[in-house]
Amino acid sequence: MDDDSRFADFVAERADALLRYGYVLSGNPHDAADLTQETLIRLHRAWPRVHRKHDPESYARTTMARLHVSAWRLRRRERLVWDLPEGSHLDTLPSGVEQELWQALGALPRKQRAVLVLRYYEQLTDEEIAGVLGVSRGTVRSHASLGLGRLRSAVPDPAGTGTAGPAGPGPAGSTGPGAPNPTTTGGRTR
Amino acid sequence: MNDHLEDHLRTALGHAAEHAPRAPGTLSARVVTRSRRRRVHAQALVAAAVVVLVAGGAGIAVRGTGTVDPAANPPPAPSAESTPGTPSPSDEPVAEVPDPVEKVWPEALWKIPAELPGGRKFQPQAFIDDHTLLLEAWKSFEKANAIYSYDLESHRVRKLADIRTPKGVFASKYTVGDGLIVWQTIDEADGDENTAPRTTKFWSIPVGGGEPTAIRMDRTLKGGADRLVVTGGKLAFSLERGGVFTVPLGGGTMEPVQGADRHHIVRWPWVGTPGRYAPDGAAVFRELFNAENGDMDEAVVRPGERNVRCGVTTCIGTRPDGRSTFFRLRDGSREREIPGQPFLEGLAADRFHAVHLPRPPGGQYLLDLATGRSGDLGLRPDADGGMISVIPGATDGRLVAYPVEDEYVIIDLARIDE
């Protein structure tokens, strides 16, 4: 099997998961697609080396996180290689609390959001997050603390509003097939 | 409550992820196509950037001594304008092409053979003095193995030093000052910035040639430098990620320039921030700081303006209409519209800009915003539509060099009077 076939297989298997990750990192479908596309282009260019190391997924996820917090996004964008469907993606989260949290995440500085996504979506330790973002563990803790503080101000009492009933925030089994489960580790959508 | 918040956050992120867009089945093929196109484009861009322009020595100008007056000179002759690389519809008038650069600025222009004796390829890097060029000879793409001097009057070529770098280590950013030629070598590590940061070393030789000597520092320098300047017995450099430092030319302690931890060298002693890859589309070098006397300056930027790139005295950018390009002093005065679009690198020497000509015939002309004069660089698209682009602002504005057929065109911007 040649490199391009292996790359095609990787994209076929993992592109949707990367898009999900890009979506929670960036908060909107266009940026998610943009981030995923840019990352896959870079991955393709680095493929022979990355593939030898047997971990293209880790390379891609690290690249996405770093791209997201870096200046890349502000450089001129390339046209997407595919068309996105129109429509709102925010109005279908199951609970009011989740919607509020999602909105509040959108107001966080990029690095704070990235740290929270890596910690609570990717389920990485602070040490792993520090490695992914190329910063110190103290910086990770500081971003996490500031980010959580802001979320707490924006959604003052999530426990009091959404822990019971069918509209509750995602007990295991009610989530989609790829959604992380708060009762387990390894929430990354694989 | 903290635990609840974290649980809610996990769940909200998981649910939200399910609303992400789906990848089309053809994504891989499209990405591969784009990747290959970009590789070709990147090589062309690298070649262009490398051949284009490298600064001469230090202390070129003191801020404010230039007399560029944006409003004093009307936009120059070429009438038609287009996006670079965008062919004009065939029924549009053919662009009016300015006179060739050699006719407009004969005092500042030379043409030299594009190969060294023996057929070796090279890239002009800097002026060593008013009539001597520093050339870097390549063993392979971007991989230097020797530097030479080229006397533009006598056409004499002399090897100054061999450059021996291990695989994955590249020399760049040659600069001249205090009787020395100084450059950096960047070790690309394994080429993967996610796992191993690049490290940088500095080297020097006397301008007359000699064995390269390392400028040893008290610590390993991570990341590359974006500009080097020799000044007052020291090497000053700024990092690609921001931050200005000095180190004695003989080696020693790497000292940060106080107050310049986010800055890049613009034209010593002026350093600026934000840099060229600024977040949020911020105006490049909006803030200036004088590393020698602490003077500061903030350029005027108006709401809705984009691609704003400032130098030490002027700024260029895209007006809020998204189409027209402005040029003015940093304080916002003397504004006028100019042809072309702002390059990421801004202007050279606060006054030189390159403008693409519509196709046909295509090409680029150099525009001196201080005088309004312009000269055709003589570049034309090849049969496939590809063309080297000259980026005058790629460094601080003295040497423009680019190949045309089997010659290199050399322009010394410092010889062009205002």
pLDDT at residue B165, rounded to an integer: 83
The residues in B 22-51 lying below 8 A from A, measured between CB atoms, are 22-35, 38-39
What mean pLDDT comes out for the span B411-415? 93
* Contacts with B93 (C-beta within 8 Å, 6 or more apart), sequence order: B79, B80
Note whether B191 contacts A84, CB cutoff 8 Å: no
Residue B31 within a domain: no
Residue A82 within a domain: no
Strands B325-329 and B314-318: antiparallel
- Identify whether residues A100 and A69 lie together within a single domain: no
* Measured distance CA(B211)–CA(B206) in Å, rounded: 9
* SS3 label, residue B292: coil
B8-40 tens-digit pLDDT:
899 999 988 888 888 887 888 888 887 877 666
Q: Which of A29, A178, A180 sits opposite B10 (nearest CB)?
A: A180
Residue A184 within a domain: no
Question: Closest approach of chain B CAs to the CA of A106, in angstroms?
Answer: 12
Question: Which chain B residues are closer than 8 Å to A33 by Cβ?
Answer: 21
CA A63 to chain centre: 12
B78-121 tens-digit pLDDT:
333 333 333 333 333 445 789 999 999 999 999 999 988 888 88
Strands B244-248 and B255-256: antiparallel
Give the HSE-up count for residue A49: Cα atoms under 13 Å, Cβ half-sphere.
13
E strands, B209-334, are: 213-214, 221-222, 225-231, 234-239, 244-248, 255-256, 264-267, 270-273, 287-290, 296-298, 306-310, 314-318, 325-329
Residue B348's pLDDT band, with cuts at 50, 70 and 90, is: very high
Count: domains in chain A: 2
Residue B69's pLDDT band, with cuts at 50, 70 and 90, is: low
Report whether B175 contacts B230 (CB < 8 A).
yes
- Identify whether residues A10 and A69 lie together within a single domain: yes
Residue B354 within a domain: yes
Domain hosting A20: range is 3-74
* Measured distance CA(B389)–CA(B83) in Å, rounded: 13
B372-385 tens-digit pLDDT:
999 999 988 876 66
Domain hosting B185: range is 38-415
Task: Provide the H-helix boundaries in A27-78.
Answer: 29-52, 56-69
pLDDT at residue A136, rounded to an integer: 87
Residue A141 within a domain: yes
Note whether A120 contacts B28, CB cutoff 8 Å: no
Residue B33 within a domain: no
Residue B82 phi, psi dihedral angles, 5° rounding: -150, 170
Any idea how long chain A is? Answer: 190
pLDDT at residue A66, rounded to an integer: 86
- Identify whether residues A46 and A109 lie together within a single domain: no
What mean pLDDT comes out for the span A104-113? 89
The residues in B 224-283 lying below 8 A from A, measured between CB atoms, are 277-281
Locate B82 and state its tokens: 């287009």
Nearest CA in chain B to A81: B30
The residues in B 179-208 lying below 8 A from A, measured between CB atoms, are 190-194, 197
CATH number at B349 reads: 2.130.10
Report whether B399 contacts B127 (CB < 8 A).
yes
Residue B11 within a domain: no
* Contacts with B400 (C-beta within 8 Å, 6 or more apart), sequence order: B52, B53, B348, B352, B366, B390, B392, B409, B410, B411, B413
Residue B16 within a domain: no
Question: Which chain A residues are closer than 8 Å to B19 by Cβ?
Answer: 23, 29, 89-90, 92-93
Note whether A148 contacts B279, CB cutoff 8 Å: no
CATH number at A142 reads: 1.10.10.10
pLDDT at residue A83, rounded to an integer: 59
* Contacts with B9 (C-beta within 8 Å, 6 or more apart), sequence order: A101, A116, A120, A151
Nearest CA in chain B to A179: B14
Count: domains in chain B: 1
